Structure 1
Amino acid sequence: MCQVFGVSRSGYYNWVQHEPSDRKQSDERLKLEIKVAHIRTRETYGTRRLQTELAENGIIVGRDRLARLRKELRLRCKQKRKFRATTNPNHNLPVAPNLLNQTFAPTAPNQVWVADLTYVATQEGWLYLAGIKDVYTCEIVGYAMGERMTKELTGKALFMALRSQRPPAGLIHHSDRGSQYCAYDYRVIQEQFGLKTSMSRKGNCYDNAPMESFWGTLKNESLSHYRFNNRDEAISVIREYIEIFYNRQRRYSRLGNITPAAFREKYHQMAA
């Protein structure tokens, strides 16, 4: 065989006994760490955030090298899907002006909250989810789930946010024009706590982009990968995603690749 390929016998045996280079061995060790981090972050991080995740666990790797190894491992982030709106703006209730006009630039927590409703399919029927997001920290500060899309559901989410955050008067509460947010009872709660009411223009999802972005993230990274037998299963998954992963573990590029909870703590430490 050596004669056929034109190599010496000694050269052939050297090739057979050749050990992988230090660089190759290092790459293989890194690949294992990358796989573990990819799974730990629920297959949601691209190269930049994955690099930060590895660094905080003591593993330093350049971005180009990391991108190459991710490609060799065929690791990809979960694909985004589009979902339709849920609330109905066709009603005769009073509508608030749009105070934000797509200017999402608060300078501290509890200056601007955005609120919205979405739905999740289960074998038992629809599960509706009301959520409230702090635009500065990107945290989900309030949420509630139920069988019906009602003002009581949005009210529960608002009370949760108010209890946990205790915001100062003047906070802007922005939502779409759905009847659940225009309802008298809901507006009374806002007035009692000194919140300023702001609402999107009719049919313009970009006016509530931060909340729409969260729904897409929730469904892309979690819900679209399940088939729920009943509402309780969905509730458990959603609660775990929000409380454990999204607020406390998921790195946010806009926040400097730290989590919403860590960003809030950092703000309060600097303000103290």
Structure 2
Amino acid sequence: MSTSGYYSYVKRMDREETEREAFNRHLDERILFHYHDNHGFYGSPRIYRKIRYRDNIIVSEKKVTDRMRELDLYASPPKKFRCTTDSDYTRPTFPNQLDQEFEPEAPNQV
């Protein structure tokens, strides 16, 4: 590491948080809140609308997209329902003898 690079690093570490860094930190908090509040289903367009119109933070959609990419947040849509029961079969069906009464009076009564 060069001497100038070391002192440049030390100088950056000694300074206070800038306005942009504070805004990005606040924006990241709001993005994380809305992302987890919606179980990770929302991507940047929906989160942008939540932040812009519900939180009244003036920000562009590209900024939200970039911050989400930096936070490694991606939308994962819910799994679609898939029916796994084949109700079209030829085997005989049996009547429901329990009828939701799971406590018989004695053993071998049902």
Q: TM-score, normalised by structure 1?
A: 0.27
Cα 1:67–1:12 shift into 2, 3 Å: closer
Q: What is the alpha-carbon distance in structure 1 between the residues aligned to residue 13 and residue 19 of structure 2?
A: 17
Which ranges of structure 1 fall in alignment gaps of 5 or more residues? 91-146, 148-272
Partner residue in 1 for 2:32: 35
* Structure 2 residue 2 is matched with structure 1 residue 5: yes
How many Å apart are 1:7 and its aligned residue? 2.2
Against the structure 1 CA distance between its residues 7 and 66, is the aligned structure 2 distance closer, same or farther, given a 3 Å change threshold?
Answer: same
Q: What is the CA–CA distance in structure 1 between the aligned matches of 2:75 and 2:5, rounded to whole Å? A: 47
Using the TM superposition, give the Cα deviation of residue 87 of structure 1 relative to its aligned residue in structure 2, in angstroms: 7.0
Match of 1:62 in 2: 60
Deviation at 1:18, TM superposition (A): 2.3
1:80 Cα deviation from its structure 2 partner: 4.6
Aligned-pair CA distance for 1:59: 2.4
Looking at secondary structure, tell me which structure has more strand per residue: 1
Distance 1:86 1:60, change over 3 A: farther
Cα pair distance change 1:87/1:36, threshold 3 Å: same
> 1:19–1:48: structure 2 CA closer, same or farther, 3 Å change rule?
same
In the alignment, the residues of structure 2 paired with residue 67 and residue 36 of structure 1 have an alpha-carbon distance, to the nearest angstrom, of 15
Cα deviations by residue, 1:99-144 (Å, 9 ceiling, x for unpaired): xxxxxxxxxxxxxxxxxxxxxxxxxxxxxxxxxxxxxxxxxxxxxx
Q: What percentage of residue pairs aligned between the two structures are identical?
A: 18
* Aligned partner (choices 50, 64, 75) of residue 77 of structure 1: 75
Gap regions ≥5 residues in structure 2: 90-99, 101-110
Aligned equivalents of 2:20, 2:32: Cα separation in 1: 18
Secondary structure of 1:7's aligned partner: helix
Aligned to 1:22: 19
Q: Which of the pair has the greater relative contact order for Cα pairs under 8 Å at 6+ separation? A: 2
Give the TM-score, by structure 2 length: 0.59
CA distance in 1, matches of 2:9, 2:32: 35
